[in-house]
A and B are shown apart, each in its own frame.
Chain A
Amino acid sequence: MPVTELNHYLLVAKNLERTKKFYQKVLGLKLAAERPDFGFPGYWLKAGGNVCVHLASQAPNRIRDQFLLKKHRKGANGSGTVDHIAFLAKKPEEVRRRIQKHKVEMHYRSFPDSKLFQIFLKDPDDVTIELNFLGEVIDPSAWSGKGSASAVTLSKSRGRRTAATRQN
């Protein structure tokens, strides 16, 4: 089974610090130290040792919008603040064939430095789904075109920020 388990959700918070406090103080989640520098503010939170909540802020941020592949405006509330739901998955080629067979548009993103490959797609109600393939490094040339609307490879630059290279 290529998609194996539910992993996390990402919430674009009205007030990042207050939201972090809610998850820590009310729900008892623990702040995760391992969040990479994405170039936009946010936190990762853990339950039972696993990171399962990702937070970002509604404060306007171009890098965040580029990263999340959509514009987030201030003022969203309720579950509209959830940007995506993420799963773990295996066998990227098999998953791609399955998605293409059903003519669903997808985007993908490769983090060769951290051996992470991701596919993004929308469900019929326009909910963004993120699939995480841990330990996978793909050949970007084999993935360009054909049903993948865009591809972004992120690699660490000498500066602090993560560099994004957009293909096709």
Chain B
Amino acid sequence: MPLERIDHYLLQTTDLERTRDWYVQALGMREGPHPDFKFPVVWLYLGDKDVLHVSEGGRNVSENRKRYLGQESQAEAGSGVIDHIAFFGTGLKQMIEHLHKLGIPFQQRMVDDQGLYQLFLKDPVNDVKVELSYANAEAAAAGIKPELTASEL
């Protein structure tokens, strides 16, 4: 259950290339590998760690993205373009039990080719989407199944 660290944030933008170029040029991030989500994404790295995920936003959102991630905000500027903030943790089974016990709704997703298992929930006060990311080996060991995997899109 313990969350160990902040992991990344996801920006949705009407101009994927321009946003990528800005983070690469102004902040020195590096474009790197990402899973195949069946919708366009760019992952940007600092050192060996992906810290910023960029996908299409505003009017330019694909159906696959909506199915996998939803679209919380139509905003095209300001912090409303942040779709979610992610933490990495261990203890997936305990976290699921904990959320059930508190009656907090969440969605489960899996990115098969990256070994990621994701829980998405809302901070109920501010409606901010939070991702809790775990190694999917934990899910396999505990027999936990997602509602949707990226490869099904």
Using a CB–CB cutoff of 8 Å, the interface residues on chain A facing chain B are 1-9, 11, 13-15, 18-19, 22-23, 25-29, 47-48, 50, 52-53, 77-85, 87, 98-99, 102, 104, 121, 123-129, 131
Contacts and interface: CB of A to CB of B under 8 A. Distances in A.
Interface of B: 1-9, 11, 13, 15, 18-19, 22-23, 25-29, 46-47, 49, 51-52, 72-73, 75-85, 87, 89, 98-99, 102, 104, 121, 123-130, 132
B22 A124 contact: yes
Given A9-B9, A79-B79, 19 more contacts: A1-B28, A6-B7, A6-B8, A6-B52, A15-B125, A19-B126, A26-B99, A47-B87, A48-B2, A52-B5, A78-B126, A79-B84, A79-B128, A80-B73, A81-B126, A99-B26, A124-B18, A124-B22, A126-B78
Contacts of A129: 27
A19 B46 contact: no
A124 B80 contact: no
- Where chain B touches its partner, the secondary structure class is mixed
Contacts of B83: 79
Nearest to B25: A102
